[in-house]
Structures are given as C-alpha cells and as structure tokens.
C-alpha cells in the first residue's frame, strides 16, 4: 500500500487547521456585526450541543481507528485493516442513526432545560441531522489518518472547514431567515460525511492483500471506550461553563464570552496540526519497541509545544482589547479579561497535548476517564460558584481550572516517559513576557487599525525570534531531532538552523 508522506501531511495539516480557525474567526467576525449578541449566543449553544452529542455517539471509535489501523499498517496486516474498516463502518452507520433519533425525540426537553423556552426545539431537531453526519465524519476521517492519507485528509478538511461556515452564512444572507442558518450547518456535516465515506470506500478497494493478524474487535472497543468516556467528560467540561453562563446570565453574554473562546481556540492552530498526525507516528515508534526514541520524541514535542504556544498566548493577551475592538466591536470588549485569563492558563498547561498523545499511542486510554472526569468536576463546581457572582470572568476561571486539572493528572501518569526541560521552559516564558510587555506598551500608543495590528504582530514575532537565538532556547542538536521527527521540510529546517 502506498501511503502519503508524513512531511506533506504536516504541511497540509497546517493548511487544514489554518482554514478551520481562519474560517471560524471570519465567520464570528461577520456574525458579530450582523446578528444581535443573543443570537450569537444561540449559535454558540447549539454548536455546543452538537459537539457534546456527536462525542457521545461517536463512541471514541475515531481515535481507535487512527491507532489500530496505523498499528497494523506498520506490520503490513492489510487483511486485518480491511476487517476493521468493514466492521466499524457498519457500527458507525448504526451510531449515526441513533444520534439523530435521540436528538429529535429529546429536542423539547433539551430546549426547555438549556434555552428555558420550547421555541428553540425546532432548531435542535435540525441540528440533530448535523450531529448524525458529524458522527460519520469523525469515524471515517479517522480511518484516512490511520491509513496515513494525511494529504487527502487535509485537503478535504480545508474544503469542509471553509464551506462549513460559509454555507450556513450564505443561506442566512440570501433568505434572511435564522432557521436556514442552522439548516446550513446540518446540511454541511451530512454532505461532508458522504465525502469521507466515499474516500474510505475508494481506498479500501485499493488495499492490496497482506498479512492477517488476529485482532478481536473487542480490543478496539476496549481501547475506544475509555476515549469515549473521557471524550464525553472532556467535551462536557469544555462546554459546561457556556451552558451555565446561558443559564445564570443570558444568551447575550454567552455570545460575548464565546468570542473569547473562539480567539483562544484559534491560537491552537500552532499545535493541533502536529498532534493530529503525531499519534500514528508515535504508535509506529511504540510498535517498533523503540523506548528511547519514544522518550526523546516526547521531550522534543513538549519543548516544541511551549515554544510555539506560549509567545502566541502572551502576545494576544497583550493585544486583547485591540483585537476584540477591531474584530467584534466595542460590545465585545467585556471579553478582554476572560480572554487573558484563558490564554495565560492554557499556555501554562499546553504540555497536556503531548501527554495525551503519548498515552493514546501506548494504549493507556483509560487514564483519560480520570483526567476528563476530574477536569469536568472542577469546571462544574467553580462554574456554579463563580459564574453567578462574576459572570463571564468567573466562567474563564472555571474553564482554566479544567485545563489545569487535566494537565496535572496526565503528567502524573506520564511522568516516567516525559522529562521537562525546566531551564528551557523558563526561558520561553521569560521571553514571552518581555515581548508581550513591549507589545502592550506600543498598543496603547497606536490607534486602532488593522495595519497597526499587523505591524505589532510582525514586531512581536521578530522580538521573540531574536530571544530564541540570544537565549539559546533551541540547541543545534534538538533542531536536527525536531526536524527529523516532524518532517525534514526545507523551509522548516532552514528556520530551525537560523534560530538554533
């Protein structure tokens, strides 16, 4: 079987994730200017329900597909892979149908509980179609990643990410009817599910015969169920603060708070592409019993995650009011403090993405149940305590507690595999703080404008790059190892050579 290269996959993954967050940002930028804040809150809450329900009904099989297909691909067990794809396809279709029926018949109760009104039940029924399609999307797109079709997955993702936001937006602008906004989301997810299913069918029939190693489907379920449970807990933990904001405050403040979450999520563009395709890579290393290589890979990825995420988080925090005013308007300046709280806390705990991939690749997914459960518990407790008193600022603190709890638990179980370079991490934070102070000072002197914002961003990147070089944050040896792990891309290798 001819799989697509990791290097080209990484490039296209960055393109795919950039398209997702850029489309999301543009979408909410437009929505913030054409809809009242309470309707932005309605969209946010409906998408929260979609994400929670699709996580429930996907049964964690997406992660299972990535790991087991990649694992058997390394051993050339092609016949085993075919059997896995066939069985999972049937299960996926059944789960998708169940998701739609459940959402449809429970729409009245969901509307009453979360929206405090039955008038939103029709929107929930419509979004049920999207939930059904999203379940299939998750399972079948993960099959492509497991088969190492990184580029195909990424190109498809780019198309779906862009159109997934602009199809509903276009329908609304044409009809001026908010119902078509919601219908557009569901229509998009259903269409994309059909695309991914078609691709898997094509690649399935291209698979040549190979070895046949016995793999009971029970093993896949044992691997996936902990991911399923932790996924439910983790996704609920991610959205519980927004649900409680809508309950204790109102949908308008939920719309404002959601914009802070959108910006925070956009910063993850720097990390997600690597970690989306690093799981099959780590699974491959683990299957080869290369413990030393596995530990070295995790150490480098840990440093890499902080090098990328921390300066971005501090830089955006320094320019938070500037960004909110330009992209959303003065009504959304109330999201500045919550945005800063979430960004700074997430930068402290960005290493959890590495821990999570390490645990998945070594089949210790049951730990996710503990971490996600405690994270959700922390978010729920603090949300009920803080949101009624401090509003969306309390929601930001609650959201941050979830990230911290998850980090501590994952690190505890992964501590034997991961070694922190405390000296390097300290240099990264010190450099980022210094850079953000300069940006904040300059931001107060310049008038609001997109050109000025672009100048500040470029200046921040140049300052941080100089600090990396001066403080020797990246050694020459590590730059070579990082390049070989992520992919020997010429431009990437050249940048690392300059900075090390």
Q: Give the per-residue pLDDT at 459.
A: 93
Q: Return the pLDDT at 250.
A: 78
Q: DSSP letters along 288-352, please?
A: TT-HHHHHHHHHHHHHHHHHHHHHHHHHHHHTHHHHHHHHT-GGGGGGHHHHHHHHHHHHHTTTH
Domain positions in the chain are 12-215
Q: pLDDT at position 158, please?
A: 80
Instruction: Centre a 10 Å sphere on the Cβ of residue 177 and count the other Cβ atoms it contains.
Output: 11
119 CB neighbour count, 10 Å cutoff: 8
Asked if residue 3 has pLDDT above 50, the reply is no
* Residue 140, CA distances (Å) to 62, 64, 153, 424 in order: 8, 11, 10, 39
Query: Residue 179 corresponds to which tokens in the numbers above?
Result: 């119902």
**Predicted structure pTM score:** 0.74
Cα–chain center distance at 115? 26
On the question of pLDDT at 436 being above 70, the answer is yes
Distance of CA 133 to the CA centre of its chain: 19
**Confidence (pLDDT) at 481:** 62
Give residue 317's pLDDT: 92
- 481-491 tens-digit pLDDT: 666 555 555 65
Instruction: List pLDDT tens digits, range 211-265.
Output: 666 767 777 777 777 777 777 777 777 788 888 888 787 788 888 888 888 888 7
CA distance 157 to 253: 31
Instruction: Encode 408-426: b = buried (16+ Cβ within 10 Å), e = exposed.
Output: ebbbebbeebbeebeebbe
pLDDT for residue 1: 47
pLDDT confidence of residue 74: 72
Note the pLDDT tens digit of each residue in 116-130.
788 889 999 999 999
Q: Lowest-confidence range among 71-85, 132-146, 203-217, 409-423?
A: 203-217
Per the model's pLDDT, the better-predicted residue between 290 and 332 turns out to be 332
User: Contact, 161 vs 269, CB < 8 A?
Assistant: no
pLDDT in tens, 30-50: 888 888 888 888 888 898 889
pLDDT greater at residue 230 or residue 465: 465
DSSP state of 4: P
Share of the chain above pLDDT 90, in %: 18
Lowest mean pLDDT among 239-243, 383-387, 467-471: 239-243
Sequence-distant (≥ 6) Cβ neighbours of residue 201 within 8 angstroms: none
pLDDT for res 492: 60
**Which of the 8 DSSP states describes residue 488?**
-
The residue with greater pLDDT, 391 or 2, is 391
Contact call for residues 300 and 482 (beta carbons, < 8 A): yes
Return mean pLDDT, the chain: 81
What's the rounded mean pLDDT across residues 384-410?
89
pLDDT at 278 (0 to 100) = 54
pLDDT in tens, 150-163: 777 777 878 887 88
| Residue 284 pLDDT greater than 80, yes or no | no
Please state which of the ranges 54-63, 307-316, 480-489 shows the lowest mean pLDDT.
480-489
Q: For residue 271, what pLDDT is reported?
A: 62
């Amino acid at each position: 079987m001819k799989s697509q290269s990791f290097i080209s996959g990484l490039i296209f993954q960055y393109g795919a994730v950039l398209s997702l967050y850029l489309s999301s940002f543009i979408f909410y930028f437009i929505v913030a200017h054409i809809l009242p804040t309470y309707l932005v809150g309605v969209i946010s809450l409906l998408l929260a329900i979609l994400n929670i329900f699709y996580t429930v009904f996907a049964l964690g099989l997406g992660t299972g597909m990535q790991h087991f297909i990649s694992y058997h691909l390394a051993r050339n067990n092609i016949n085993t892979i075919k059997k896995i794809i066939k069985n999972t396809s049937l299960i996926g279709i059944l789960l998708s149908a169940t998701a739609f029926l459940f959402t449809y018949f429970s729409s009245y109760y969901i509307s009453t509980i979360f929206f405090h009104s039955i008038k939103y039940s029709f929107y929930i029924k419509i979004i049920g179609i999207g939930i059904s399609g999203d379940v299939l999307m998750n399972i079948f797109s993960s099959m492509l990643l497991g088969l190492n079709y990184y580029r195909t997955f990424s190109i498809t993702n780019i198309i779906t990410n862009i159109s997934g936001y602009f199809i509903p937006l276009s329908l609304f602008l044409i009809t001026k009817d908010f119902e078509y906004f919601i219908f557009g989301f569901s229509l998009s997810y259903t269409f994309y599910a059909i695309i991914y299913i078609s691709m898997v069918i094509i690649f399935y029939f291209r698979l040549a015969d190979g070895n046949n190693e016995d793999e009971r489907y029970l093993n896949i379920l044992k691997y996936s169920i902990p991911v399923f449970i932790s996924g439910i807990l983790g996704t609920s933990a991610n959205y519980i603060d927004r649900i409680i904001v809508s309950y204790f405050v109102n949908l308008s403040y939920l719309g404002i708070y959601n914009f802070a979450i959108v910006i925070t999520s956009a910063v993850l563009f720097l990390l997600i592409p690597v970690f989306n395709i690093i799981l099959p890579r780590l699974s491959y290393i683990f299957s080869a019993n290369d413990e030393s290589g596995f530990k070295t890979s995790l150490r480098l990825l840990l440093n890499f995650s902080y090098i990328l995420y921390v300066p971005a988080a501090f830089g955006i925090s320094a320019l938070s009011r500037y960004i909110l005013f330009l992209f959303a308007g003065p009504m959304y300046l109330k999201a500045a403090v919550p945005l800063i709280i979430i960004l700074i806390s997430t930068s402290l705990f960005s290493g959890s993405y590495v821990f999570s991939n390490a645990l998945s690749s070594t089949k210790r997914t049951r730990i996710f149940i503990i971490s996600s459960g405690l994270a959700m518990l922390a978010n729920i407790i603090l949300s009920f305590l803080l949101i009624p008193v401090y509003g969306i600022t309390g929601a930001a603190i609650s959201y941050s507690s979830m990230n911290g709890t998850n980090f501590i638990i994952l690190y505890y179980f992964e501590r034997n595999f991961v070694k922190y370079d405390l000296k390097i991490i300290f240099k990264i934070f010190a450099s980022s703080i210094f850079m953000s102070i300069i940006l904040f000072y300059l931001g107060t002197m310049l008038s609001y404008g997109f050109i000025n914002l672009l100048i500040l961003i470029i200046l921040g990147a140049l300052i941080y790059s100089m600090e990396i070089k001066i403080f020797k944050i990246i050694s020459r040896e590590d730059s070579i190892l990082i390049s070989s792990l992520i992919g020997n891309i010429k431009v990437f290798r050249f940048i690392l050579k300059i900075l090390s």
